Amino acid sequence: MKLLEEVQLKLVSSLKGKDLLTLLDYTSEEVQNLVKLATQLKTITKAGKCPKLLDGKMLGMIFEKHSTRTRISFEVGMNQLGGKAMFLHSRDLQIGRGEPISDTGKVLSGYLDAIMIRANSHKMVKELAENATIPVINGLTDLYHPCQALADLETIAENKGNLKGLKIAYVGDGNNVAHSLVIAAAHVGMNVAIATPSGYECNSDIIVKAQEIAKANGSTITVTNNPVEAVANADVVYTDVWTSMGQEEESAKRLVDFKDYQINDKLVAHAKPDYMFLHCLPAHREEEVASSVIDGPNSFVFEQAENRLHAQKAVLASILA
């Protein structure tokens, strides 16, 4: 406790023992405090003073999909906090041979302190959480990517100095990244504009819920099919790949449908001169984003990727410490 006082860390105590499936389940205050804690943890980690809050704790990490940033950042984060992480590929577990996810949740609860899962189905992750007696963290599903969104907010806050009142434009597929981004931005009072091709819009129920959160925080969410309208006067411009994991068969069609939604110099000319460009990575240069943008002076994608580590430490510490 003395070390905590020295670095003045304030864990989000209301999250103790709680799942992170979607940021819709968290209050705006909890989201805002997680962002602040992530920045604190980043600062003290770089100073070599990260407290071993999770000494003796074990995180099990289940993966149904490939991962670079999620796997490494969670594993390193647990290590920096004094705990350990165990990689578990679904094909190596009995769930890969038909064991019910409910049984898996009950079994793993007897071995681990928390589970992080990167899965195809959000429904399956919900069932895991309902049957586990330990916290479950969503590392990505077909509907949400909450840990990414927390890192996004941390990156913007560190570079803009504030979040409330800023405009963030998301251009591209209305996917899991878009869903969590709009929810997170609503929690901190950012104005959001989402531009997707017709037929690729965000889930309407999620947008309605995010709009309710935004209204409570004095901000707005605009949905359009016009990328220029979305990017106009934006402080932050964000995109993701046009074809996500599991959609490879749709790739040729998506390249056609999204051709007018590339983030390029012509489009970002409508944003503020000091706009930030963000991308959750991996990126396909000259598809969803021009090389001149992602490799240009307004790009913060690698700082954003690094911040996955610190945002997730904020979640792990608050849930498990």
Catalytic, out of 19, 142, 152, 240: 240
Summarised one tens digit per residue, pLDDT across range 92-134 is 787 756 789 999 999 999 999 999 999 999 999 999 999 999 9
Catalytic, out of 145, 187, 254, 279: 145
Give yes or no for residue 174 having a pLDDT over 70. yes
Q: Is 118 one of the catalytic residues?
A: yes
Which pLDDT band, with edges at 50, 70 and 90, does 2 fall under? Answer: very low
Catalytic, out of 152, 254, 280, 304: 280
| Paired tokens of 68 | 């670079």
Please indicate whether residue 251 or residue 197 has the higher confidence score (pLDDT). 197
Q: Is 240 one of the catalytic residues?
A: yes
Q: Is 40 one of the catalytic residues?
A: no
Q: Is 280 one of the catalytic residues?
A: yes
- Given a contact cutoff of 8 angstroms between Cβ atoms, the answer to whether 300 and 155 are in contact is yes
Percent of the chain with pLDDT over 70: 97
Q: Is 122 one of the catalytic residues?
A: no
* CB count in 10 Å sphere of residue 273: 7
148-304 architecture in CATH?
3-Layer(aba) Sandwich (3.40)
Query: Kind and range of the H or E element at 63?
Result: strand 58-63
C-alpha 250/C-alpha 154 separation (Å) is 33
In sequence order, the 6+-apart residues with CB closer than 8 A to the CB of 35 are 150, 153, 154, 157, 163, 188, 311, 314
Catalytic, out of 69, 118, 187, 310: 118
Domain map (residue ranges) of the chain: 2-144+307-320, 148-304
pTM assigned to the model: 0.95
Q: How many CA atoms lie within 13 A of 45 on its CB side?
A: 22
Matching residue, tokens 């943008």: 293
Indicate the average pLDDT of the chain. 95
Give yes or no for residue 145 having a pLDDT over 80. yes
- Given a contact cutoff of 8 angstroms between Cβ atoms, the answer to whether 263 and 171 are in contact is yes
In sequence order, the 6+-apart residues with CB closer than 8 A to the CB of 89 are 62, 63
At the topology level, CATH places domain 2-144+307-320 in: Rossmann fold (3.40.50)
Q: Is 69 one of the catalytic residues?
A: no
Summarised one tens digit per residue, pLDDT across range 223-269 is 999 999 999 999 999 999 998 877 788 889 999 999 999 999 999 99
Q: What Å distances lie between residue 39 and 32, 45, 75, 154, 251, CA to CA?
A: 11, 10, 19, 7, 37
Give yes or no for residue 5 having a pLDDT over 90. no
- For residue 95, what pLDDT is reported? 72
Catalytic, out of 32, 148, 304, 312: 148
Average pLDDT for 38-42: 97
DSSP state of 245: T
